[in-house]
Amino acid sequence: MCGIVGIIGKEPVAQRLFDGLKRLEYRGYDSAGICTLENGDFSRARAQGKLHNLKAELEEKDLPGTLGIAHTRWATHGVPNVPNAHPHIAGKVALVVNGIIENFKSLREELQADGREFLSETDSEVVAHLVDREMERGKDPQEAVAAILSRLHGAFAIAFLFQDEPELMIGARRGAPLTVGAGEGENYLGSDAIALAPLTQKIAYLEDGDWVVVKRDGFQIYDSDNDPVERELVESGASASAVEKGNYRHFMQKEIFEQPAVVANTLASYMRPIDGTVALPDNDLDLSTIDRVTIVACGTSYYAGMVAKYWIEKFARVAVDIDVASEFRYRDPVLEKGGLALFISQSGETADTLAALDHSREQGQIIAAVVNVPTSAMAREADLLLPTHAGPEIGVASTKAFTCQLAVLAAFAANLARAKGLMSADEEAEIVKHLQEAPEAINEALNHDDDIAAMAHLVAPARDVLYLGRGPDYPLALEGALKLKEISYIHAEGYAAGEMKHGPIALIDEDVPVIVLAPSGPYFEKTVSNMQEVRARGGKIIFISDAKGLEEAGDGCVATIEMPEAHPLIQPIVYAVPVQLLAYHVAVAKGTDVDQPRNLAKSVTVE
Ligand code: F6R
């Protein structure tokens, strides 16, 4: 959600800033811009829409200078147009902001009353004016930034340049991520390690409330009390090639096909196949005392949590509450001391989930987090960090992070069951065995890519699509509908198959494709009965099941997708694949922007 990059260097920076934005474009693509500084003059290029528009602008415009800041925007305040595009300049200050300044209105009124004129509708511009005003009043840039940060409410990361300071860049973060990178005679700011990957591998993660004075020969970090602090410089390990598509047409497609490898990788760090045991990362928690788990997440990660609820309740017999993060905090949930609050997030930076985490900690919960970005805020705040090893996920629609989350959550459920004394060593070994089968089963599911592509035309013309599932396949129905709507813009809903007759069945006619997820197993017959009710009313069914299920109930469906036989435990992991592929191929058939669907961005760092 907005990407920031800044360089204070030895060579001209405009091209390198643009390349940095390419690695950050997944965070937002409503507009983009770069500002450089040379001989006391700012030069700025901004363009609405995607980076290719900024590229065209840069071909017309020279941006000289060996220091500069750049931004790719996901619009919050103000429509996506050039005046609202960052960087913003007020007097002698240029800045880029990721996040929201919640009290911008009152600040803006105050600044306007002081005679300051605003050129954009953004909340960010007020920050530039606040700093510029402090400088006009006699403060130096560092003092000016230090003075105004405490006046800002909200979650943000900011990079500043100052017209009269060719040796200075300042960064600040609260709630949104910002890293500082160390180079040879130059230094950098970036929203993440990938933005800086080709520039440096040595980075320090700013902590919440930190701000940093960056010069060519070094940087000094300050905490929220404005005291100098040291933050460890670590090897980022990030690779710019992780944000390349290779031979794939889209990142989403690449990430779908990476799933056998990344799920195997993730499982490898949670299983000991030799002795058939599950092991969580080192921790000093006593899980046997946990009597209630509260799962909180957003979007796809929330659906992973819904599957986990089945597993935790079934294996560990621990009651599970689950809520979307944006609702959780505001309903004043009852959280008894000593409960475990489990947060699931690909990015580890989602503002709603982070806020829910803070709230849960205040309520005495033990904090566990299933997170894909190990350096993220959520990862740092967890008492029990359960990393997924999906690698960077660039496609805005989450795919491989979801299946890796499921792998971790299954391991967690088994571990909790063991800790509670409700699972024998043999049962645990069975679970390990079945989880080990997941990568191969995902591979087999991927072999149906061509079949699924060939049926995209059945869904692409639809205005509405329904997905049905039961038990742990119900969250998969929700996930399938979310994938379809976000990348193909077709209205889709997931329903618990048994709920159809309580209302949604009224929607059925020959123009509404119904995707039914029904692997053979405990829920098969009931789901198939619900499917027949739909078919009896003229519904066009795309039926996803295994060979046995297709043989029993596949007749009369407009299309079928055959999945491998899989143990019920890993079915949700395997059945994620066809719903991802179907959404992908429908979007390709419709010609939408698969990796950067309209109005969306990866990492939702605003509430
Ligand atoms: C959907 C999708 C979103 C995210 C949600 C949470 O494909 O990607 O629904 O799952 O924004 O993001 P994280 O997992 O980063 O907290």
Query: Percentage of the chain with pLDDT > 70?
Result: 99
Query: Is the pLDDT assigned to residue 77 strictly greater than 90?
Result: no
Task: Determine the atom of ligand 1 nearest the C-alpha atom of 399.
Answer: 7
Cα 350 to ligand 1 centre (Å): 8
Cα 420 to ligand 1 centre (Å): 31
- Of all protein residues, the one whose alpha carbon is nearest to atom 16 of ligand 1 is 345
Residues 6 or more apart whose CB falls under 8 angstroms from that of 551 comprise none
The candidate with the shortest Cα–Cα distance to 79, out of 136, 27, 30, is 30
Asked if residue 607 belongs to a domain, the reply is: no
User: What gap in Å lies between CA 264 and CA 390, rounded to an integer?
Assistant: 10
Cα 346 to ligand 1 centre (Å): 7
Cα 417 to ligand 1 centre (Å): 28
Alpha carbon separation from 180 to 235, 439, 497 (Å, rounded): 12, 37, 50
Q: Which of the residues are catalytic?
A: 2, 602
Asked if residue 600 belongs to a domain, the reply is: no
Res 10: pLDDT: 94
Residue 277 belongs to domain spanning: 256-436
If one compares 274 and 218, the residue with the highest pLDDT of the two is 218
Query: Is the pLDDT assigned to residue 47 strictly greater than 90?
Result: yes
Task: Determine the atom of ligand 1 nearest the C-alpha atom of 300.
Answer: 10
- Site of tokens 């993220």: 376
Same domain, 230 and 323: no
Same domain, 109 and 65: yes
Same domain, 345 and 476: no
Query: Is the pLDDT assigned to residue 585 strictly greater than 80?
Result: yes
Res 514: pLDDT: 96
Task: Determine the atom of ligand 1 nearest the C-alpha atom of 603.
Answer: 15
- Of all protein residues, the one whose alpha carbon is nearest to atom 3 of ligand 1 is 299
Query: Is the pLDDT assigned to residue 174 strictly greater than 80?
Result: yes
* Amino acid at residue number 238: A
Asked if residue 31 belongs to a domain, the reply is: yes
User: What gap in Å lies between CA 440 and CA 430, rounded to an integer?
Assistant: 17
Residue 328 is encoded by which pair of tokens?
């959780």
Query: Is the pLDDT assigned to residue 83 strictly greater than 90?
Result: yes
Asked if residue 597 belongs to a domain, the reply is: no
If one compares 116 and 23, the residue with the highest pLDDT of the two is 116
Residue 393 is encoded by which pair of tokens?
């996920």
Asked if residue 207 belongs to a domain, the reply is: yes
Is the Cβ–Cβ distance between 123 and 88 less than 8 Å? no
Cα 61 to ligand 1 centre (Å): 37
Same domain, 549 and 468: yes
Classify residue 504 as exposed, middle or buried by CB count within 10 Å of its CB (0-12, 13-18, 19+). Answer: middle
Averaged pLDDT, 311-338: 93
If one compares 273 and 198, the residue with the highest pLDDT of the two is 198
Res 3: pLDDT: 92
Same domain, 351 and 493: no
Res 329: pLDDT: 82
Same domain, 226 and 144: yes
Same domain, 479 and 414: no
Averaged pLDDT, 383-412: 96
Cα 526 to ligand 1 centre (Å): 31
Query: Is the pLDDT assigned to residue 546 strictly greater than 80?
Result: yes
User: What gap in Å lies between CA 216 and CA 293, rounded to an integer?
Assistant: 48
Query: Is the pLDDT assigned to residue 598 strictly greater than 90?
Result: no
Same domain, 370 and 481: no
Task: Determine the atom of ligand 1 nearest the C-alpha atom of 350.
Answer: 16
User: What gap in Å lies between CA 543 and CA 514, rounded to an integer?
Assistant: 8
If one compares 599 and 287, the residue with the highest pLDDT of the two is 287
- Determine which of 14-18, 77-81, 84-88 has the lowest per-residue pLDDT on average: 77-81
Res 332: pLDDT: 87
Same domain, 367 and 500: no
Helix, coil or strand: residue 44: strand
What region does 344 belong to: left with phi over 0, alpha with psi -120 to 50, or beta?
Answer: beta
Specify the CATH number for the domain of residue 542: 3.40.50.10490
The number of CA neighbours under 13 Å toward the Cβ of 316 is 27
Query: Is the pLDDT assigned to residue 464 strictly greater than 80?
Result: yes
Binding pocket residue ranges, ligand 1, CB within 6 Å: 298-301, 345-347, 350, 353, 397-398, 482, 486, 603-604
- Of all protein residues, the one whose alpha carbon is nearest to atom 8 of ligand 1 is 398
Picking from 228, 246, 264, the residue at the C-terminal end of a domain is 246
User: What gap in Å lies between CA 156 and CA 151, rounded to an integer?
Assistant: 13
| Most informative mutation of 1, 250, 252, 301 for ligand 1 (most atoms within 8 A of CB) | 301
Task: Determine the atom of ligand 1 nearest the C-alpha atom of 299.
Answer: 9
pLDDT tens digit string along 421-461?
999 999 999 999 999 999 999 999 999 999 999 999 999 99
User: Any bridge partners for residue 345, and if so which?
Assistant: 371
Same domain, 414 and 375: yes
Asked if residue 251 belongs to a domain, the reply is: no
What region does 117 belong to: left with phi over 0, alpha with psi -120 to 50, or beta?
Answer: beta
User: What gap in Å lies between CA 296 and CA 328, rounded to an integer?
Assistant: 7
| Most informative mutation of 74, 398, 405, 599 for ligand 1 (most atoms within 8 A of CB) | 398
Cα 41 to ligand 1 centre (Å): 40
Res 246: pLDDT: 85
* Amino acid at residue number 73: R
| Most informative mutation of 346, 352, 600 for ligand 1 (most atoms within 8 A of CB) | 346
User: What gap in Å lies between CA 386 and CA 25, rounded to an integer?
Assistant: 27
Task: Determine the atom of ligand 1 nearest the C-alpha atom of 297.
Answer: 16
Taking CA 121 as the corner, what is the angle to CA 119 and CA 127, rounded to the nearest 5 degrees?
Answer: 75
Averaged pLDDT, 42-46: 98
Picking from 401, 436, 471, the residue at the C-terminal end of a domain is 436
Specify the CATH number for the domain of residue 227: 3.60.20.10
Cα 251 to ligand 1 centre (Å): 16
Tell me how many domains the chain contains: 3
- Of all protein residues, the one whose alpha carbon is nearest to atom 5 of ligand 1 is 299
Res 606: pLDDT: 65
Where residue 605 falls among pLDDT bands split at 50, 70, 90? low
Averaged pLDDT, 568-592: 97
Picking from 406, 436, 466, the residue at the C-terminal end of a domain is 436
Angle 51-60/14-24 helices, nearest 10 degrees?
170
- Of all protein residues, the one whose alpha carbon is nearest to atom 9 of ligand 1 is 299
Helix, coil or strand: residue 37: strand
Tell me what the pLDDT averaged over the chain comes to: 94
The candidate with the shortest Cα–Cα distance to 494, out of 206, 288, 219, 299, is 299
Asked if residue 430 belongs to a domain, the reply is: yes
User: What gap in Å lies between CA 44 and CA 62, rounded to an integer?
Assistant: 9
Asked if residue 595 belongs to a domain, the reply is: no
User: Any idea how long the chain is?
Assistant: 607
Query: Is the pLDDT assigned to residue 194 strictly greater than 90?
Result: no
Averaged pLDDT, 198-214: 95
User: What gap in Å lies between CA 184 and CA 420, rounded to an integer?
Assistant: 53
| Most informative mutation of 298, 408, 580 for ligand 1 (most atoms within 8 A of CB) | 298
Classify residue 429 as exposed, middle or buried by CB count within 10 Å of its CB (0-12, 13-18, 19+). Answer: middle
Same domain, 281 and 145: no
Same domain, 385 and 450: no
Query: Is the pLDDT assigned to residue 241 strictly greater than 80?
Result: no
Where residue 74 falls among pLDDT bands split at 50, 70, 90? confident
Helix, coil or strand: residue 115: coil
